[in-house]
Structure 1
Amino acid sequence: MNSSSDLDFLLPELRSHVAQYFERNDYYQAVTEAFKLVRLRLEELTGNESASRVFGENTLNEQYWGKIYGCSPNNQREIDYRRAVGYLHLAIQYFRNELVHQVADERFDRNLALSYVATANLALHCIGPGLPEEWFDLFNTELKAVHGAYRARRWFYSDLASGGWMSKLSEGFQADALVPSQLQRLKEAVLADLELQHSYDRSNIEFMKLEFVAGQLSDEDIDVIITAAESNPNNDQSVGFEEFLRYCKQKYPTLASDQVENALSRRAVAE
């Protein structure tokens, strides 16, 4: 497909950077420019453009983690994620080193170029600044505003089950405005402060947050959420729990599928 539409998945800055080369079928230059942008982003964040220096040959160098992610890792999973990002950037560095020894019109067709550029896109998507504390406060205010704008609770719960409420968020708070490392940090913060037995309204907001980061949740995270939601059966305040489970089942069917199904079954029996 020789159309710019096959570039739509790229981050806007990368898409605008390489589109001109795809338009004139200069696929070699499109790839080299994509890799160059990754290198420049590393330099912008760390002052060093070399992935091997920033991440280390074994990706265990933590010197620049604060500059890249804006925060320290909270657990081993987050450390593993950062190592994976490091290996991705090392791969791009080595690919780029290989490209400089090729003839410009050699080897590349559109599909292969798109594959290389997609790798650069992922590398860019995975690095970025952390979320400042004031962002969390603004995000919480945004969720409360969206929640409070529903004129009837049944409309809210319908949107909670489908995830439709997220379309009502302001542009700056859309999930695609955050890079994966920021979503991961938000997930950790949400789980750390999770409170599902305080009040109906608090639980509604908590489940909105959990749906927002659902793509980052692990099976273990789902276990934590289910335990918190079912911790007070005599005075259950976890309103929105069933809708959250249905959202996960629909949107992420492989995510803790047994736990989700069992929790839904227990919910049905309780009713």
Structure 2
Amino acid sequence: MSQLTVADRTFLEAALQLGGGYVLDFTNSSFAQFFDALGIDIFEERYAEYGTSKANRLRAFWKLGTELEVSASLAALADYVQAKRIAEGYDAVPEEHEARIREIASSLAGTSSPRPTLSGATTTEATVSKNLISIEIHEDIYSHIERYLATDDYFHAVEESYKVVREKLRELTGSEKSTDVFNENAQSNKHYRALFGKSAPAGMAEADFFRGIGYLHLGVQFLRNEKAHSLATFVEPNLAIHYISLASLAYDLITRFLSEEAVAEIEEIVRAKRKSYRSVRAFYADFEDGKWLQGISLPASVQSASARRLLKTRWLEEADLTKSYDHSNMVFMRLELVVDELTEADLDLLIDLPTEDSYGNHQEAGMWPFLEFVQRRDPGKLSERAKKRLAEFAAR
């Protein structure tokens, strides 16, 4: 999947004249031949995600193609424009636009590493002062054991933290026993795709890392077995926090990876939900107060706070309010799924996004009810600019 920015896509939409479903002066036949020379069947069904026109197929290709594929196609398009200018005096694309297309192609080529998974760099925080370390326990675990910590019941806090880890392992793989998931030597890669978003490690370093995670979960299993078969006894608080930290780390390391398949699955759930409404009025009746979220069943792999943060980052990067009303609706629907992870800065970013297509038509729809939903969910998330935008909507 390419990482074209919103600004790049907006420019390319205009430069390549994608309005009306066309791409420059290509016919269906010449468009197919152009991509065939790049080893790509642009009329393959997967590229009809947004529609069957040449422009929509190109938009889908920008989303689904790799960095190298999109880079090569843009460079070839620039060559095509240049050749027609020299041979035929073609002036539909100015030379400065051609140069910008080449810059975008070069930029993509420079960041051409594949993105088979999403991974989070930071999910918890820590501070250090000599031998005193203050860490943030993963919120999924803390929310479950908070009541035990509040009453100094450290035995059950530890035991329950390990249960959370084992339950997540079961959700992702079908088994809560790490010996079944990783085997007793932590060498099985049977469930790597479910846990790490890929079927096999990329190299020895990653193989060692994944195996280390396996050993960590083996430790959780056997330490938990000891607690499960013992009467509740006093656990010294400092030791209990070490145990809980181990559980937090084990949990964190299996919830910070998302495969493209998992992302595609949840995006399809949103798309299907939007299409299920027979009218715009029916959709907004549910969308305005988040009713559409009721009954939505999400894959286990995207239910953790870590996964929600990854999805939030991705969906904000991909947010495009210039395509159509329906597409804008789905942008906001996705973000409502991860609303708890949104920040004031995220809302300001959305407000700054362009909303007009290459013809100057306004294509944003859903911002108002989305901001109202955020306000009802957590008024503290609204930035001053978001509050101002809401006031502007209300005054219309």
Query: What TM-score do the two structures reach when normalised by structure 1?
Result: 0.57
Counterpart residue number, 1:237: 363
8 Å contact kept, 2:262–2:302:
no
Instruction: Tell me how far apart the structure 1 counterparts of residues 321 and 367 of structure 2 sit (CA, whole Å).
Output: 9
Q: Could you say which residue in structure 1 is the equivalent of 2:125?
A: none
What letter corresponds to residue 156 of structure 2 in structure 1? A
Amino acid at match of 1:132: S
Tell me how far apart the structure 2 counterparts of residues 223 and 198 of structure 1 sit (CA, whole Å): 20
CA spacing shift, 1:226–1:31, aligned 2, 3 Å: same
- Work out whether 1:220 is the aligned partner of 2:345: yes
Aligned to 1:159: 286
**Separation in structure 1 between the aligned mates of residue 372 and residue 244 of structure 2, nearest angstrom:** 32
Contact 1:207–1:241 (CA under 8 A) maintained in structure 2:
yes
CA–CA distance in structure 2, aligned partners of residues 34 and 143 of structure 1: 33
Structure 2 residue runs of 5 or longer lacking an equivalent are 1-138, 170-177, 184-193, 199-219
More helix by share: 1
Once superposed, what is the RMSD of the aligned Cα atoms?
A: 4.6
Match of 2:319 in 1: 194
Alpha-carbon distance, 1:33 to partner: 2.2
C-alpha contact (below 8 Å) 1:10/1:121 kept by paired residues:
no
Q: Given residue 158 of structure 1, which amino acid in structure 2 is its aligned partner?
A: A
Which residue, 267, 271, 291 being the options, matches 1:144? 271
SS at match of 1:236: coil
- What is aligned with 2:110? none
Over the matched positions of the two proteins, sequence identity in percent amounts to: 24
Cα deviation per residue 1:219-246 (whole Å; 9 max; x = unaligned)? 11111111116567x5221111111011
> Which among 254, 266, 271 is matched to residue 392 of structure 2?
266
* Shift in CA distance, 31/248, structure 1 to aligned 2, threshold 3 Å: closer
Matched AA of 2:320: E
Matched letter for residue 190 of structure 1: W
Residues 321, 354 of structure 2: 8 Å contact kept: yes
Distance in 2 (alpha carbons) for counterparts of 1:125 and 1:229: 39
What residue is the counterpart of 2:261 in the other structure?
Answer: 134
What amino acid sits opposite 1:267 in the alignment? F
**What TM-score do the two structures reach when normalised by structure 2?**
0.40
Residue by residue, what CA displacement relative to the aligned partner does 1:42-68 show, whole Å, maximum 9, x if unpaired? x88999xxxxxxxxxxxxxxxxxxx98
Cα deviation 1:52-98 (Å, max 9, x = unaligned): xxxxxxxxxxxxxxx98769xxxxxxxxxxxxxxxxxxxxx9xx9xx
| 1:246 matched residue in structure 2 | 372
CA drift at 1:218: 1.3
Partner of 2:308: 183
- Alignment of 1:207 with 2:332, yes or no, is yes
- Whether the 8 Å contact between 1:230 and 1:236 is mirrored in structure 2 is yes
- Equivalent pair of 1:128/1:182 in contact (CA under 8 Å): no
**2: CA distance, partners of 1:124 / 1:167:** 31
Alpha-carbon distance between aligned partners in 2 of 1:239 and 1:144, rounded to the nearest angstrom: 15
Asked whether the 8 Å contact 2:196–2:259 carries over to 1, the reply is: no
Equivalent pair of 1:139/1:173 in contact (CA under 8 Å): yes
Change (3 A) 1:38 1:168: closer
Counterpart amino acid of residue 263 in structure 1: R
Deviation at 1:266, TM superposition (A): 2.6
**For the residues of structure 1 that align with 2:266 and 2:283, how far apart are their CA atoms?**
18
What secondary structure, in the 3-state scheme, does the structure 2 residue paired with 1:172 have? coil
Question: Within 1, Cα distance between the matches of 2:347 and 2:314?
Answer: 15
Matches of residues 55-204 of structure 1 in structure 2 within 5 Å? 105-106=233-234, 126-129=252-255, 130-169=257-296, 171-173=297-299, 178-204=303-329
One-letter code aligned to 1:198: K
Residue aligned with 1:254, SS = helix
For residues 265 and 31 of structure 1, do their structure 2 counterparts lie closer, same or farther at Cα, with a shift above 3 Å needed?
A: closer
Change (3 A) 1:121 1:166: farther
SS at match of 2:365: coil
Describe the shift of the 1:241–1:31 C-alpha distance in structure 2 as closer, same or farther (beyond 3 A).
closer
CA distance in 1, matches of 2:380, 2:243: 28
Shift of 1:158: 2.3
- Aligned residue identity for 1:265: A
